[in-house]
A and B are shown apart, each in its own frame.
Chain A
Amino acid sequence: MSLWMIFKVAVLAIFRNKTRSLLTCLGIIFGIAAVIAVLAIGKGASAMMVAEISQMGNNLVMVFPERKQAGVVHQGLGGGQNMTAEDVIAIKNELSHLVQFASPQVNAFCQLMHQNKNWSTRVQGVSVDFPDIKNWTMKEGRFFNEQEERRASRVCVIGTSVASNLFGEEEPVGKTMRIKNMAFKVVGVLNSKGANNWGDDQDDTVMAPYTTVSRVLQGSAFKSINMMNLSLYDMDDLDEAKREITAILRQRHKLADYQDDDFETRDTTEIMNTIGSVTGLMTVLLTVVAAISLLVGGIGIMNIMLVSVTERIKEIGLRMAIGATPFMILTQFLLEALVLSAVGGVIGVAAGIGVAQAIGAMKHWPIVVEAGSAILAFGFSAFVGIFFGFYPAYRASKLNPIDCLRYE
């Protein structure tokens, strides 16, 4: 008897017992569906994180002044006063082969006014490079130019949230608004970026030349900045760039060898690694849960197969009496288990993708179904079929035809 014939016999046996076959499949279907759905949602969440982090900026390296400690009170990141716009210019000039864009950032929290409306938000003093670093594009008008930056002109661009809160239906470009009671001309409106990972509305912002902000809004005697944003040509140069930045800043800040750095560098890869390890952990955790349900499904298959062997003991006896060898019996039962788990696997993969899509649509999460995870789940279900199908099949093949035929 050919393997194909045994396969046909096995398939016929499955169809003879539709209910039992369906129940057997269910365990595998749920197990596989759980694995697929969890992996799809997990991968989707990771992809969303990566997308949002890269939205923070292209090949972004941020440098913050050291946190100053006044007694026991720590200031926040960027609270130091030892970093200046000149540091940024020096780095841009000296590392022109590594750094594509550079922008200082000076933050001021200000009250904004236009006619009878007012709004308070963070005004970011930045350079003309800033939109290229942070992937900001213009919705209307233009960004401020180098001349305006050099002259510390009172111009600004605004985010869509500020535009709608201060101007409503009005066209903001070309209008004058008041920041800290000083007149600024709105030259452009930024395209919306929405909320970031941490739920902050990125569109609730005003950008003005850093020269203007530090001079007029901060009124600071020092030309200190809150942070610098650098964009590298290539993230592969990250380590070299960080080394060079450190060397330049230490030299410019006249730090002796025994002194610690008075600044900190951060880059998106660090953030991505942190978030990646968190989402990775979640994925592993959920996968373990899903794998356990798959195992339970496998044990379900074994139980049903064992029951099926007992229930069909007369059939086994008859098959042996008319010429089925122990090997054929073994193969038949093994194939039955395999077909059931394979069919369960296919349905499970489909159901898993469906569930993931449904959850994704409901929660507005992106869903990433990788061929790898589908193949993995399918392979595992085949393995479960063989593994849990073997014992009952082996028991069936060891039966004596006489005992089977006499069995009541």
Chain B
Amino acid sequence: MAHLIEIRDMYKIYAQGDEPVHALDGVSVSIDEGEFVAIMGASGSGKSTMLNILGCLDTPTKGTYLLDGIEVAGRSRTELAHIRNEKLGFVFQNFNLLPRTSAIENVELPDLYLGRLGRRARRRRALELLRRVGLGGRGTHTPAQLSGGQQQRVAIARALMNKPPVLFADEPTGNLDTKSSIEIMNLFTELSRAGITIVMVTHEDDIAAYATRHLVMKDGHLVSDDKGAAK
């Protein structure tokens, strides 16, 4: 069976000053459909770079990347934008919702760029997603009127708008209190059970515990992968 995500000999080298920095130093990993992966490691270990490259937000210096059977490395900025739009969803640490814009309009945004749904179908789907993340009655609220946990749930609904096979999350609970964090992680677990592949970066062990697989990085290398040892 082909992997959903497969990277081989991935390098990301930043030319900073005299000494080039190897943020990724020959990483190979494959992730299958339905997995809930946590990428862990100390700051500067290369875990964020890894997520950015997997999320097609950044391009590797060297290496191959097959996403859903498509070669991603070497694609143009426009092609990467289309891939992100159709195949990937993003959840960020600081939510990144459009300010002064209602929750429902924030959720609708990815389909505005895709243009797959009509106006009414788009609104219907956005409402349904908001219900699914538990914000059924808050569609008209702007980010300023929502708590951090609620904002992150809007962001998750937005990430799911175009039905992507993969969801990327960069420290999704980093700005949330414990109670909200647990709610968000329960939501991720629910989505994972529904068959969505999730790749999450975190440095907190109790958050990583929700994942079914843990990749630990250090100095640009993958030092631990507990695939198979999942609970």
A109 interfacial contact with B, CB 8 Å: no
Residues of A with C-beta under 8 A to B136: none
CB distance from B142 to the nearest CB of A (A): 10
- Within the assembled complex, what's the spacing in Å between the Cα atoms of A5 and B101? 16
A321 to B80, CA, bound (A): 9
Chain A proximity mask over B158-188: 1 for CB below 8 Å, otherwise 0: 1100100000000000000000000000000
- Tell whether B82 is near chain A: CB-to-CB under 8 Å: yes
For A321, the chain B residues whose CB sits under 8 A away are 55, 57, 84, 90, 96
Determine whether the beta carbon of B92 is less than 8 Å from that of A325: no
Question: Do residues A2 and B115 form an inter-chain contact, with CB atoms below 8 A?
Answer: yes
A385 → chain B, closest Cβ, in Å?
23
B114 at the interface (CB under 8 A from A): yes
**Which of A2, A12, A326, A405 makes the CB contact (< 8 A) with B77?**
A326
Question: Which of A276-284, A312-320, A337-345, A361-369 lies at the binding interface?
Answer: A312-320
Tell me which of A16, A314, A322, A401 contacts B113 (CB under 8 A).
A322
Determine the residue in chain B with the shortest Cβ distance to A401: B57
B96 & A1 in contact (Cβ 8 Å cutoff): no
Interface string of B100-144 (1 = CB under 8 A from A): 110001000110111100000000000000000000000000000
- Which residues of the other chain, A, contact B85 by a CB distance below 8 angstroms? 322-324
Contact A322 B90 (CB under 8 A): yes
Contact B90 A5 (CB under 8 A): no
Q: Is the CB of A325 within 8 A of B90?
A: no
Chain B residues near A320: list those with CB within 8 A. Answer: 81, 84
Is A324 in contact with B101, judged by CB distance below 8 angstroms?
A: no
A9 interface hit (Cβ, 8 Å) = yes
- The CA-CA distance from A224 to B77 in the complex, in Å, is 92
Contact A325 B78, beta carbon cutoff 8 Å: yes
Decide yes or no whether B28 CB sits under 8 A from chain A.
Answer: no
Query: Which A residues touch B77, using CB under 8 A?
Result: 325-326
Q: Does B86 contact A (CB under 8 A)?
A: yes
Bound form: Cα–Cα A314–B77 in Å: 18
CB nearest neighbor in A for B95: A318
Instruction: State the CA gap A5–B119 with chains docked (Å).
Output: 10
B55 CB → nearest A CB, Å: 8
Number of contact residues on A: which range applies? 20 to 34
Chain A residues closer than 8 Å to B81, beta-carbon distance: 320, 323-326, 328
- B82 lies within 8 A of A326 (CB): no
Contact code string B43-62 (vs A, CB < 8 Å = 1, else 0): 00000000010010110000
Q: Is A285 an interface residue (CB 8 A)?
A: no
Q: Which of B78, B99, B110 contacts A322 (CB 8 A)?
A: B110
Q: Which residues of B sit under 8 angstroms from A314, Cβ to Cβ?
A: 96
Give chain B nearest CB distance to A148 CB in angstroms. 87
CB neighbours (8 Å) of A317 from chain B are: 96
Q: Is the Cβ of A12 less than 8 Å from the Cβ of B101?
A: yes
CA distance A319 to B158 in the complex (A): 12
Chain B residues with CB below 8 A from A222, complex form: none
Task: Note all chain B residues with C-beta closer than 8 A to A17.
Answer: 100
> In residues 1-30 of chain A, which contact B (Cβ within 8 Å)?
1-2, 5, 8-9, 12, 16-17
Q: Given that A1-B115, A16-B100 are known contacts, is A323 also in contact with B78, CB under 8 Å in the complex? A: no
Cross-chain pair count, CB within 8 angstroms: 71
Q: How far is the CA of A324 from the CA of B112 in the complex (A)?
A: 9
Q: Give the residues in chain A near B96, CB-CB below 8 Å.
A: 314, 317-318, 321, 405
A119 interface contact, C-beta 8 A: no
Q: Does A402 contact B (CB under 8 A)?
A: yes
Q: How close is B67's CB to chain A, nearest CB, in angstroms?
A: 14
Contacts of A9 in B (CB 8 A): 112
Query: B52: which A residues are within 8 A, CB to CB?
Result: 402
Known contacts A1-B113, A314-B96, A402-B57; A326 and B78 CB within 8 A of each other = yes
* Pair B101/A16 contact, Cβ less than 8 Å: yes
Q: Give the Cβ gap from B96 to chain A, nearest Cβ, in Å.
A: 4
Can you name the residue of chain A whose Cβ is closest to the Cβ of B168? Answer: A321
Bound-complex Cα distance A321 to B77 (A) = 11
Task: Please report the C-alpha to C-alpha distance between residue A5 and residue B96 in the assembled complex, in whole angstroms.
Answer: 21
Determine if B223 is an interface residue (Cβ-Cβ < 8 Å): no
Contact between B112 and A1, CB atoms less than 8 A apart? yes
Q: Is the CB of A323 within 8 A of B84?
A: yes
Contact residues, A303-356 vs B (CB, 8 A)? 314-315, 317-328
Compute how far the CA of A192 lies from the CA of B100 in the bound complex, rounded to whole angstroms.
Answer: 67
When distances are taken between beta carbons in the complex, the residues of chain B under 8 Å from A12 are 101, 105
- Is B98 at the interface (CB under 8 A from chain A)? yes
A17–B85 CA distance with the chains assembled, in angstroms: 26
Partner of A402, one of B58, B100, B158: B58
Query: Which chain A residue lies CB-closest to B112?
Result: A5
With a cutoff of 8 Å between Cβ atoms, the chain A residues found around residue B113 in the complex are 1, 5, 319, 322-324, 328
Q: How far is the CA of A321 from the CA of B97 in the complex (A)?
A: 12
Residues from chain A with Cβ under 8 Å of B92 in the complex: 318, 405
* A40–B159 alpha-carbon span in the complex (Å): 55
* Set of chain B residues within 8 Å of A322, measured between Cβ atoms: 84-85, 90, 109-110, 113, 158-159
Q: Is the CB of B100 within 8 A of A323?
A: no
For this complex, 17 residue pairs linking A to B, each with C-beta atoms less than 8 Å apart, are A1-B112, A16-B100, A17-B100, A321-B55, A322-B84, A322-B85, A323-B84, A323-B113, A324-B85, A324-B113, A325-B78, A325-B81, A327-B78, A402-B58, A405-B57, A405-B92, A405-B96
18 extra interface residue pairs, beta carbon distance < 8 Å, beyond A317-B96, A325-B77: A8-B112, A9-B112, A12-B101, A16-B98, A16-B101, A318-B98, A320-B84, A321-B57, A321-B96, A322-B90, A322-B110, A323-B162, A324-B85, A324-B113, A326-B81, A327-B78, A402-B58, A405-B96
A interface, CB within 8 angstroms of B: 1-2, 5, 8-9, 12, 16-17, 314-315, 317-328, 400-402, 405
Q: Top 5 closest A-B pairs, CB basis?
A: A323-B85, A325-B81, A323-B113, A325-B78, A318-B96
